[in-house]
A and B are shown apart, each in its own frame.
Chain A
Amino acid sequence: MKRILIADDDKNLAELYQQELTDDGYQVEVVHDAREAIRRVESELPDLLILDIRMPGMDGIEALNHILGKNNRLPVILNTAYSNYKDNFMTWSANAYVVKSSDLTELKTTIQDVLERRESDV
């Protein structure tokens, strides 16, 4: 079973993701801030990270750098309500960038794509 870590300060949204993705057969963990995400990535080695950008304290972009510095193979999907970070070069090392929407289809397809590409890379 693939393990997904979600880092998002919006607790309701994170819970919704957790339910939906668990129903789809993933094992899902949730954290609500970036520093905790960095710690969990190191200790739990998830198969994929879904990372919000705007969070109190450290933001997702800074966290992305730290995380890739420790594990450059971990697939990361940036998931934010804002599309303007797409132009920020610091986000280009993520595997995908998905703008938040009430319809989770794009996020779910992207999760599948990223995990499949990861498999074929190995």
Chain B
Amino acid sequence: MTNPNLLDSTLTMILAGGQGERLYPLTREVAKPAVPFGGIYRIIDFTLSNCINSNLRKIYVLTQYKSSSLDRHLRRGWSFLHPELGEYIYTIPPQQQVADLWYRGTADAIYQNIYTLEQEKPERVLILSGDHIYKMDYSRMIDSHVQSGADLPVACVEVPLAQASHLGVMAVDESSRITGFQEKPESPAPVPGNPDVALASMGIYVFSTSTLVRTVSEEARRSQTRHDFGLNIIPRLVDSGKVFAYNLKDTNRNTTLYWRDIGRLGTYWEANMDLLEKHPEFDLYDESWPIRTFQVQRPPARVRVENAQSVRAIISNGCDIDDARVHHSILSPGVTVQPDASVTDSILMEGVDVGAGAVVRKAIVDHDVVIPPNSRIGVDAREDGQRFTITPEGIVVVPSGIQLDGA
């Protein structure tokens, strides 16, 4: 077990300011980390749960765009630590304390919060993103940083080459030293000895505080930079020869662990659907790794269906399915599905009402949308294309606030 002092002297900063433009319209009202996931969760719950499960209890969440919903969620669901004992989860919006600017990038977000680091003076800082789905014990990575004498570990995960072109890809030598970096490469470099996979950066770093402050302060003085850890800081530090890949693997089975960057609507839908596998790689029901969230009190889900055939679904509290067919779908709390309706391969957010006889296929329906009786979503691509966003994978996205006419 990791020395508790190591974790106590580590400050965690979660970058939760991304606009999430590629998740639009789900991010029309909320920041990406606050987008619902897996029925009852918000995307940031997974990173925060990892922190708590890793025993990291000094956490700042750096927010920026559309942060009120995220902020409310954190206050309602994540205010259980005790600041008087030196443990906390605090959100920090841009304060313009250092500069009269919004955060210009991830590195600038840290730079603009140097005052916080100055007050806390932690020995090291763990930097995380608030928009990834995975389980990870960060304490092992922190251990490796300390034992190596403060090298800079970058958490990486092996991904199939085809997926790597959406991600930041690391080139490494045999000793895991990072020798190069490509952002969203057209032809990603494979891992030595394994031509089918590339090593993707998870956007997770452990810095000694002095290195971090020095680096982001220098970056703030540069022009022609995007002030980004992945794009600017890490490539610059790679030349120092002190940047190493920390490969997130299941060390018992030597297999790659589940990690998804929820960057696009397609990956968002797929990652949700992954939860519905018979034996999901990413299991919400794993008692050794509890995932916390905030939930409103609601009655238990009610399913009034006779002779149901092959139901595979996550059905949250307060849902009411009345003699309808729900298959391979995720229902957030308070969803109602009226008689003879059919919902397949879909994600229905909180409070959605599916009218009697309506058909919903391969769709993401945002909160509180009322789907009129007998209407069809995900059936006729041409009709849907006139009203909704359709992803390249053919997923129909119905935004919140829309008024749908009856069929």
Question: Are chains A and B native binding partners rather than an unrelated pairing?
Answer: yes
A-to-B contact residues, CB < 8 Å: 65-66, 68-70, 72-73, 88-90, 92-93
Q: How far is the CA of A101 from the CA of B280 in the complex (A)?
A: 68
Contact of B99 among A68, A89, A92 (CB under 8 A): A68
- Contact residues, B191-246 vs A (CB, 8 A): 209, 213-214, 217, 220-223
Closest A residue to B117 by beta carbon equals: A89
Q: Write out the residue numbers on chain B whose beta carbons fall within 8 Å of the beta carbon of A65.
A: 97-99
Report whether B100 and A68 are in contact in the complex, using a CB–CB cutoff of 8 Å.
Answer: no
| Majority secondary structure, A binding face | helix
- The 8 A-B residue pairs whose C-beta atoms are closest, nearest first, are A69-B99, A93-B217, A89-B118, A92-B217, A89-B213, A65-B98, A89-B114, A69-B100
Cα–Cα distance between A90 and B115 once the two chains are bound (Å): 7
A to B contact number (C-beta, < 8 Å): 41
> Measured between C-beta atoms, what is the minimum distance from B125 to chain A in Å?
11
Report the minimum CB–CB distance from B251 to chain A (whole Å): 36
Could you show 12 A-B contacts with beta carbons less than 8 Å apart?
A68-B220, A69-B99, A69-B100, A72-B221, A73-B223, A89-B114, A89-B117, A89-B118, A90-B115, A90-B118, A92-B213, A92-B217
B223 x A72 contact (CB < 8 A):
yes
Across-interface contacts of A66 in B (CB, < 8 A): 99-100
Report which residue of A65, A70, A88 has the largest number of chain B beta carbons within 10 angstroms of its beta carbon.
A65
Residue of A nearest to B212 (CB): A89
Cβ-defined contact, B220 with A90, below 8 A: no
Partner among A70, A88, A89, A93 whose Cβ is within 8 Å of the Cβ of B220:
A93
Task: Compute how far the CA of A2 lies from the CA of B297 in the bound complex, rounded to whole angstroms.
Answer: 68
B402 at the interface (CB under 8 A from A): no
Shortest Cβ gap from A91 to chain B (Å): 9
B217, A69: Cβ atoms under 8 Å? no
Give the residue name and chain of the B residue nearest to A64 (CB): B98
Q: Which residues of A contact B114 (CB under 8 A)?
A: 89-90, 92-93
For the complex, give the distance between the alpha carbons of A90 and B114 in Å: 7
Complex Cα–Cα for A31 and B114 (A): 27
Q: Which residues of B contact A92 (CB under 8 A)?
A: 114, 213-214, 217
Instruction: Name the distance in Å between B147's Cβ and chain A's nearest Cβ.
Output: 25
Instruction: Kindly state the separation between the CA atoms of A88 and B117 in the bound complex, as whole angstroms.
Output: 10
CA of A66 to CA of B115, assembled, Å: 14
Inter-chain CA distance A69–B117, complex, in Å, is 19
- Closest residue of chain A to B115, judged by CB? A90
Q: How far is the CB of B67 from chain A (nearest CB, A)?
A: 21
Query: Are A72 and B118 in touch, CB under 8 angstroms?
Result: no
* Chain B minimum-CB-distance residue to A73: B223
In the complex, chain A residues whose CB is within 8 Å of the CB of B220? 68, 72, 93
Q: With A and B bound together, what is the CA distance between A65 and B111 in angstroms?
A: 11
A73 to B214, CA, bound (A): 16
Among B114, B214, B223, residue most surrounded by chain A Cβ atoms (within 10 Å) = B114
Q: Does B381 contact A (CB under 8 A)?
A: no
